[in-house]
Chain A
Amino acid sequence: MIAYILRRLGAGALLLVIVTLVTFGIFYVVPRLAGQTTEQLATMYVGRAPTPEAIQATIDRLGLDQPIALQFWEFLKGIFVGAEYQFGRNVVECSAPCFGYSFQNYQEVFPEIVRRLPVTFSLAIGAAVIWLVGGVTVGMVSAIKKGSVFDRIAMGIALAGVSLPVFFTGLLALAFLVHAWGIFPSPGYTPFLNNPVAWATGLVLPWLTLAFLHAAMYARQTRAGMLETMGEDYIRTARAKGLKERTVVFKHGLRPTLTPILTIFGLDLGLVLGGAVLTEQVYSLNGIGRYAVQAIVQSDLPVILGVTLFGAFFVVVCNLIVDLLYAWVDPRVRVAG
């Protein structure tokens, strides 16, 4: 078991290094392969006034004329020990972990991400709870009452949920549920510690919108998985023992069904923690996703790069947790590892 955990941890760390390498490659190497000169590349990092002097200063500052390997090394070093940037006589420090420095806003990226973290976390975790509980429950009931009216309606809604993008459902919800009918309060973020009630009421609609999309997928997955599991031989064995149908379903049927769902849950949660771009944008929640959108609009490359890395970090960590949970949920994994 310990060997399994260590192996997984090692794999997770390796994956993070590879992700960093690839992300770095996308921003620093691919543009060159596409024919961009060092000057053109530097323009992207220069800030608001791309004078030739400024460009040259940026090249020096970022070491863009250095060999790629050296640049990557500096980049990695920045993450672990921090970096310093020269602006004329001023030295700007980007303390560790330095995920980059926005030359447009003269801000370090990491503190900006951390500042927005509570918003994204509140949104992601609240929505995740709703979609997991809601999706699995609906999926189970659908599977048990296969072919019933409930099943048909639920699966119809689920199909809609899978196919409707957030900017559609979100805008509709805003227009009708908030503005026209006033059922929900205006969405917004209040820190939990300031006022838990306002925190929850402000986030209800974003939670539901984000959860709807995922819950639909989870309901379909759960239903399919449950139907398959209930056809297994060991379910017949459980019934042959004389167990109550409730025990058969919840003890014997649910666990194998949830095992694969755990995997997608890890991925989804990781993705959303790295920024629920559409939901945050639609409801003007100032989270990591919105930060990324703003950076994209402004072509603020260091921010985009920082957010990307940060998102990747969450996906890797969530997957790692899922892998470890897996060993607990499914004893066969412990041996196979």
Chain B
Amino acid sequence: MTTPGTGQAPDTAEAVVSVRDLKITFPTLDGDVHAVDGLSFEVPAGGALGIVGESGSGKSATSLALMGLHRGTRARISGELLVAGTDVVTATDQQVRAMRGNDIAMVFQDPMSSLHPQYTIGNQIVEAYRTHHPGAGAAEARRRAVDALERVGIPEAARRIHSYPHEFSGGMRQRVLIAMGLVCEPKVLLADEPTTALDVTVQAQILDLLDDLRRDLGMSLILVSHDLAVVAGSVDRVLVMQKGRAVEQGDVRTVLSEPEHPYTQALLAAVPRVEVSRAQRRAQVRAERAVAAEQERAAEREHGAEPAREPEAAPAPPPAAAAPAAEAGGGEPLLRVENVRQRFRVRGGMFGAASYFYAVDDVSFELHRGETLGIVGESGSGKSTLSRMIMRLLQPTEGRVVFEGRDITRLSDRQLRPLRRDIQMIFQNPYSSLNPRLTIGDSIGTALRVQGERNGKVVRQRVQELLERVGLEPAHYNRFPHAFSGGQRQRIAIARALILRPKLVICDEPVSALDVSTQDQVLRLLAELQDDFDLTLIFVAHDLAVVRQVSDRVAVMRKGRIVEMSDGDSVYEQPRHDYTRQLLAAAPVLDPDEARRLRAERHRLRRQAGDNAGV
């Protein structure tokens, strides 16, 4: 099978990438892990394939193998991996190097860390060109680099070529990486989660760019993502991976509209949809919960002496809290934010002269008990700064924050301490927000101890109750964070926030670091807990669909200001502000035709913006 052109000659003639029975195995101390197990697919010249799966499904191992990047690692690889006629499994290192960048170029997930920080982007692109065109002069390579940068929409490319990566935003860096891939005009562009680290509007721009490039240059595209909605509008065929195998493969319309495999169905169901309103979603979750509870009770009745699981004992909502929840809307709001501003000092210019900018600029809102306020915005919109001010991790430069009728804007740290019990926060990155040297029991229990609980047994018992409530085992008490997956860690973070029975919980991008299906589970959990614990939530996120599903009201933030705020459905159904419309047009959707329509709409909006700027 090392001789291309014998058996499969007719196929390989038109397929640029052809994978047959690919197996990738990582030897570990606990035996071999089969990251990819018998995968086969093909990408025709000019075609586009989406590879979708959760983390651990083997999709990234596959894309690294396509580039031959598993070489020099412990991975064992077998099968046939033909990329533009080179069998990556058997080729020599030199052949693989000649293929990389020239026949197949890769765009990576994290544009922040994928460019060398110490070389100019021009240097890095020129280098890619000259590696494969040793005869090319410096001037020609430079011209090519400028062309490629212009092609991906970097303004003033000839000047920017001398800039370093840190002088670009995330989206621009991803464009630079794409330009680097394009400079040798490869036959295939392989994009592994190219937009996961980016904002919604930037994500849409990058996906549009990839789509344009594919059309204009006749390249094939392989788009790898955990999110079906990301690939929906950009590919012809889609391949769904689970545990190293392809569970479903076919035309994108067919797979998305009539998924056959249960895993694909589950994955589709988990994608948060911008068109589903909160009421629909809640009704659905409640119904499913009722069914589950009923089944559990039935099961318990059957096995009379089923172990002592007490689903009702753990939540135990504080009895007094139920009443005010009922009269939400009337009475004193739980939280009142009045014209807050947060000023930051920026150093720069000659002799370090300081200038100022407002990260949050004149924001006001009220929040009633039991309510969920969603705050949507892109990075730099000030949404995290706002939540930090409400937590009083930052002191507002101007304005007031009133919690339960009490002005907390200027309280000292000491005075704030009792208040910390009432306002808690769940952070974005569950990997770095848990101390790796503390057991999760300690992590969660510390808050109780800090607030004065001395009895170790009580702490342990309450932590274990809560662990069970968030869907973990009480026996996990003594484990360390590294033993848990991203979703489980976020559950731990939730438990840590809830252990003090807070009144207000601020969730800062709680699911943006998680896979789609894990996202769904965590969101469901949050919804359940909100009911059980009578929580008031502020839900900060850049994902419009996620925010819609959890929020009663939605505030859209941009450049430190709230540009639009009203009840969730009307923001989505009758957006008043242009920016909201842009955001909505950028949100990925599952229907490929709808995705194409939105793409056209984005082109129109962008042209309009360009015309306006020109005037």
Binding site for B on A (CB under 8 A): 2-3, 6-7, 232-234, 236-245, 247, 251-252, 255-256, 259, 329-332, 335, 337
Is there contact, CB below 8 Å, between B67 and A252? no
| Contact of A234 with B132 at beta-carbon distance under 8 Å, contacts A3-B351, A3-B352, A240-B69 already known | no
Report chain A residues within 8 Å CB of B352. Answer: 3, 7, 337
Report chain B residues within 8 Å CB of A256. Answer: 116-118
Check: B445 CB closer than 8 A to any chain A CB. Answer: no
Is there contact, CB below 8 Å, between A242 and B164? no
Interface centre among A237, A242, A244, by most chain B C-beta atoms within 10 angstroms, is A242
Is there contact, CB below 8 Å, between A240 and B117? no
The closest CB in chain B to the CB of A330 belongs to: B118
Is there contact, CB below 8 Å, between B101 and A241? yes
The closest CB in chain A to the CB of B129 belongs to: A241
Is there contact, CB below 8 Å, between A234 and B113? yes
Is there contact, CB below 8 Å, between B127 and A232? no
A326 CB to nearest B CB, Å: 11
A101→B177 CA distance, assembly (Å): 64
Is there contact, CB below 8 Å, between A232 and B131? no
Check: B108 CB closer than 8 A to any chain A CB. Answer: yes
Report chain A residues within 8 Å CB of B118. Answer: 255-256, 259, 329-331
B113 CB to nearest A CB, Å: 4
Is there contact, CB below 8 Å, between A240 and B101? yes
A238→B128 CA distance, assembly (Å): 8
From the candidates B97, B99, B164, B350, name the one contacting A243 in the complex (CB within 8 A).
B97
Chain A interface main SS type: helix
Is there contact, CB below 8 Å, between B351 and A6? yes
State the 10 A-B residue pairs at the shortest beta-carbon distance, nearest first. Answer: A242-B100, A242-B101, A233-B113, A241-B128, A241-B101, A331-B164, A234-B116, A233-B114, A240-B106, A242-B97
Report chain B residues within 8 Å CB of A247. Answer: 127, 131
Q: Can you name 6 extra interface pairs (CB under 8 A) apart from A233-B114, A237-B177, A331-B164?
A: A237-B114, A239-B69, A240-B100, A240-B105, A242-B131, A337-B352
A179→B321 CA distance, assembly (Å): 89
Interface centre among A6, A237, A335, by most chain B C-beta atoms within 10 angstroms, is A237
Report chain B residues within 8 Å CB of A233. Answer: 108, 110, 113-114
Report chain B residues within 8 Å CB of A238. Answer: 116
Check: B98 CB closer than 8 A to any chain A CB. Answer: yes
A312 CB to nearest B CB, Å: 26
Is there contact, CB below 8 Å, between B117 and A330? yes
Interface centre among A241, A243, A335, by most chain B C-beta atoms within 10 angstroms, is A241
A23→B120 CA distance, assembly (Å): 44
A234→B149 CA distance, assembly (Å): 19
Is there contact, CB below 8 Å, between A332 and B164? yes
A234→B108 CA distance, assembly (Å): 10
Size range of the chain B interface in the assembly: 20 to 34
A255→B93 CA distance, assembly (Å): 25
| Contact of A236 with B108 at beta-carbon distance under 8 Å, contacts A6-B351, A331-B117 already known | yes
A237→B67 CA distance, assembly (Å): 11
The closest CB in chain A to the CB of B116 belongs to: A234
Contact with A along B321-349 (1 / 0, CB 8 A): 00000000000000000000000000011
Check: B51 CB closer than 8 A to any chain A CB. Answer: no
Report chain A residues within 8 Å CB of B131. Answer: 241-244, 247
A251→B123 CA distance, assembly (Å): 11
The closest CB in chain B to the CB of A259 belongs to: B118
A18→B194 CA distance, assembly (Å): 51
Report chain B residues within 8 Å CB of A242. Answer: 97-102, 128, 131-132
The closest CB in chain A to the CB of B353 belongs to: A3
Report chain A residues within 8 Å CB of B177. Answer: 237
Report chain B residues within 8 Å CB of A240. Answer: 67, 69, 100-101, 105-106, 108
A146 CB to nearest B CB, Å: 11
Q: How many CB-defined contacts (below 8 Å) exist between A and B?
A: 84
Report chain B residues within 8 Å CB of A6. Answer: 351
The closest CB in chain A to the CB of B102 belongs to: A242
From the candidates A234, A331, A337, name the one contacting B114 in the complex (CB within 8 A).
A234
From the candidates A237, A245, A331, name the one contacting B166 in the complex (CB within 8 A).
A331
Report chain A residues within 8 Å CB of B115. Answer: 234, 237
Is there contact, CB below 8 Å, between A236 and B98? no
A255→B123 CA distance, assembly (Å): 14
The closest CB in chain B to the CB of A239 belongs to: B69
Check: B425 CB closer than 8 A to any chain A CB. Answer: no
Report chain A residues within 8 Å CB of B106. Answer: 240
B187 CB to nearest A CB, Å: 14
A252→B131 CA distance, assembly (Å): 14
Check: B526 CB closer than 8 A to any chain A CB. Answer: no
Contact with A along B372-409 (1 / 0, CB 8 A): 00000000000000000000000000000000000000
The closest CB in chain A to the CB of B128 belongs to: A241
Check: B180 CB closer than 8 A to any chain A CB. Answer: yes
A237→B176 CA distance, assembly (Å): 12
Report chain B residues within 8 Å CB of A234. Answer: 113-117
B418 CB to nearest A CB, Å: 39
A335→B117 CA distance, assembly (Å): 13
A126→B9 CA distance, assembly (Å): 64
The closest CB in chain A to the CB of B123 belongs to: A251
Report chain B residues within 8 Å CB of A252. Answer: 116
Chain A to chain B contacts (Cβ below 8 Å), 9 pairs: A3-B350, A234-B113, A236-B114, A237-B180, A245-B93, A256-B117, A331-B117, A332-B117, A335-B167
A337→B116 CA distance, assembly (Å): 20
The closest CB in chain A to the CB of B96 belongs to: A242
Interface centre among B98, B127, B167, B349, by most chain A C-beta atoms within 10 angstroms, is B127
B123 CB to nearest A CB, Å: 9
Is there contact, CB below 8 Å, between A243 and B117? no
A335→B69 CA distance, assembly (Å): 34
Report chain A residues within 8 Å CB of B67. Answer: 239-240
- For chain B, residues 82 to 139, give those with C-beta under 8 angstroms from any C-beta of chain A: 93, 97-102, 105-106, 108, 110, 113-118, 120, 127-128, 131-132
Report chain A residues within 8 Å CB of B117. Answer: 234, 256, 330-332
From the candidates A237, A245, A332, name the one contacting B108 in the complex (CB within 8 A).
A237
A330→B69 CA distance, assembly (Å): 28
B186 CB to nearest A CB, Å: 10
The closest CB in chain A to the CB of B110 belongs to: A233
Is there contact, CB below 8 Å, between A239 and B100? yes
Report chain A residues within 8 Å CB of B349. Answer: 3
Is there contact, CB below 8 Å, between A332 and B114? no
A256→B115 CA distance, assembly (Å): 13
From the candidates B100, B113, B167, B348, name the one contacting A241 in the complex (CB within 8 A).
B100
Report chain B residues within 8 Å CB of A255. Answer: 118
| Contact of A244 with B97 at beta-carbon distance under 8 Å, contacts A256-B118, A335-B166 already known | yes
Report chain B residues within 8 Å CB of A335. Answer: 166-167, 348
A6→B348 CA distance, assembly (Å): 14
A255→B610 CA distance, assembly (Å): 41
Is there contact, CB below 8 Å, between B116 and A237? yes
A7→B292 CA distance, assembly (Å): 66
A238→B115 CA distance, assembly (Å): 9
Report chain B residues within 8 Å CB of A232. Answer: 113
A70→B166 CA distance, assembly (Å): 51
A247→B100 CA distance, assembly (Å): 15
The closest CB in chain B to the CB of A6 belongs to: B351
- For chain B, residues 248 to 265, give those with C-beta under 8 angstroms from any C-beta of chain A: none
A259→B117 CA distance, assembly (Å): 12
A283 CB to nearest B CB, Å: 40
The closest CB in chain A to the CB of B183 belongs to: A241
Is there contact, CB below 8 Å, between B99 and A241? no
The closest CB in chain A to the CB of B64 belongs to: A236
Is there contact, CB below 8 Å, between B69 and A243? no
A27→B110 CA distance, assembly (Å): 56
Report chain B residues within 8 Å CB of A337. Answer: 352
Report chain B residues within 8 Å CB of A330. Answer: 117-118
Is there contact, CB below 8 Å, between A332 and B116? no
A79 CB to nearest B CB, Å: 29
The closest CB in chain B to the CB of A335 belongs to: B166
